[in-house]
Amino acid sequence: MTAVLELDGITKRFGALTANDRVSLSLGQGEILALLGENGAGKTTLMNILFGHYAADEGNVRVFGQELPSGKPRAAIDAGVGMVHQHFTLAGNLTVLDNIMLGSESLFRTTSSRESARKKLLSIAERFGLPVSPDEKVSQLSVGERQRVEILKALYRDARILILDEPTAVLARPEAQRLFETLKDMTKEGLSLIFISHKLHEVMAASDRVAVLRGGRMVAERKTTQTSPEDLAELMVGRKVERPVRQDHKIGAPVIVARDVRVEAGGETKLNDVSFTIRAGEILGIVGVSGNGQASLGALLSGLTRPSGGTLTLDGQDVLPFGPREMIRAGVGRIPEDRHSEGAVGELTVWENAVLERLRTPAFSTRGFVRQAACKAYAAQLIERFDIRGATAETRTRLLSGGNMQKLILGRCLSTGPAFLLANQPTRGLDEGAIAAVHSELLAARAAGAAILLISEELEEAVALSDRIQAMVKGRLSEAIPAGEADAQRLGLIMAGVWKEGSHAA
């Protein structure tokens, strides 16, 4: 297979940390290569070097036989390299066409060739099976549609090598399956693809070859047909990975009870007569296709949204007044859906984020003065207990990998022994080892008596961790079913809104 891309001896250091250590890698024409590794293994750093966001300290990159100048994204784009980042880089207030054209025309042009750009965009969309509406505002698009626009933006710039960093991290499984079907069709047009993923079933289904990074070094390459998910998981973490198993135990009294809760916003009903009960030592799983009200439920239980009807009680007391501070004081732990925008402040240090929700308590402040030594000691304990890698108390939180940031948020929640824990997509974007660690902590909190609401789009995760499961469809919740009865057929029906003797969710 003709090599269209070669990385030779790439080394990148950030101070004392070596993110990439003499990494060599090649990509063939029309090939789909999966790049695997634990959170913080150096995958995104390596791809950022390829795309020119970072300059390598050692080594070089060759595209179609020509060496790329280091640290110049424009040179990478001109050479035919496109990158779709894990976190979308689209302007929500602009149209699809405006976003596609941004940066593609010289600033010295006196006119914009919008009509020719529109024709080119629609031609590419048809050719690769990625339909879009050029004049629709990006803010009005679903997550899957935004992913499509990001790919089209790269293809519009004539990319022949496409890098996708966690392309399905925010996609529901049906959307992810459609994306990979499209990507396979794109390779038939001569495109070559590298994608980073932690979802091993996707890697097995979509890739031709797999490369594994561990600790910044390339430790293995395999043809996908000659490996297995278990083999890849062990290569990623350097040991056999086994997820913990939920054990039956005695469930306690009700901790949080919702009765006919309604949430309205912008003239729309986001939650419609939602009812559930979670007891001490119990995990209630909420499943459903993204966009059916899970985000509104998470915002409600975090104190970010006020209910417009119904009742919500915690340990028998009405949750009023209603707000984030009140929920924290009431003993609610919160793992939000978006760790970057809601879970942590990237520019603050690890110790500042660790005490963020408890800064006014006597343990961390006295008469308005922050007890920094106590805060840093507490952060060091979290780093050790929850295996937050590449971090010290003084590390800027934005420098952590997504998985290690999630461990910080999880540790901050669980260290307080919350009576109720909201775990909203707790393993999104995590590697297999980190997933096992998060599952262990959630089950330990359950064993300690915490009531946990797990919102997850990963059905296997919901079934493995939950005692009971409810499906959310169009802002409504189904009746709860025991996790032991949640086979694929029954879950599919309730997620489709088929409840109670063939009735459908409104």
Write out the E strands in 336-459.
365-366, 369-370, 420-424, 451-455
* Residues 294/495, Cβ–Cβ less than 8 Å: no
Q: Tell whether domain 254-346+400-504 is in CATH 3.40.50.300.
A: yes
Report the pLDDT value the prediction gives residue 107, as an integer from 0 to 100.
55
The DSSP 8-state label assigned to residue 349 in this structure reads B
Nearest CA to 238 out of 211, 220, 226 is that of: 220
Rounded to whole angstroms, how far apart are CA atoms 61 and 44? 15
Rounded to whole angstroms, how far apart are CA atoms 493 and 506? 14
Report the pLDDT value the prediction gives residue 110, as an integer from 0 to 100.
54
Please list, in sequence order, all residues whose beta carbon lies within 8 angstroms of the beta carbon of residue 350, skipping any fewer than 6 positions away: 379, 383, 388, 391, 392, 393, 394, 395, 397, 400, 408
Rounded to whole angstroms, how far apart are CA atoms 194 and 333? 37
CATH number of 3-237: 3.40.50.300
* Residues 491/207, Cβ–Cβ less than 8 Å: no
* Residues 139/92, Cβ–Cβ less than 8 Å: yes
Report the pLDDT value the prediction gives residue 471, as an integer from 0 to 100.
92
Helix (H, G, I), strand (E, B) or coil at 311: strand
Residues of the chain with CATH 3.40.50.300: 3-237, 254-346+400-504
Helix, strand, coil distribution of the chain in percent, nearest 5: 35, 25, 35
* Residues 68/59, Cβ–Cβ less than 8 Å: no
Please list, in sequence order, all residues whose beta carbon lies within 8 angstroms of the beta carbon of residue 103, skipping any fewer than 6 positions away: none
Report the pLDDT value the prediction gives residue 388, as an integer from 0 to 100.
87
pLDDT tens for each residue of the chain, 506 residues long: 689 999 999 999 988 889 999 999 999 999 999 999 887 788 989 999 999 999 999 999 999 999 999 889 889 989 999 888 877 778 888 999 998 988 766 655 555 688 888 999 999 888 877 788 899 898 888 767 887 888 888 888 888 999 988 887 766 677 778 778 888 888 888 889 999 888 888 899 889 999 999 989 999 999 999 999 989 988 988 888 888 899 989 999 999 999 999 999 878 889 999 999 999 999 999 998 777 888 899 989 988 888 889 999 998 888 766 788 888 888 899 998 888 878 899 999 999 999 998 888 899 999 889 999 999 999 999 999 888 887 899 999 988 877 788 889 999 998 888 999 999 989 877 778 888 888 999 999 999 999 999 999 888 899 999 999 999 998 999 999 998 888 877 888 888 887 764 455 55
Report the pLDDT value the prediction gives residue 452, as an integer from 0 to 100.
96
Report the pLDDT value the prediction gives residue 329, as an integer from 0 to 100.
84
Residue 89 buriedness (CB in 10 A; 0-12 / 13-18 / 19+): exposed
* C-alpha triplet 43, 46, 50: angle, nearest 5°: 135
Nearest CA to 461 out of 125, 201, 122 is that of: 201
Report the pLDDT value the prediction gives residue 502, as an integer from 0 to 100.
47
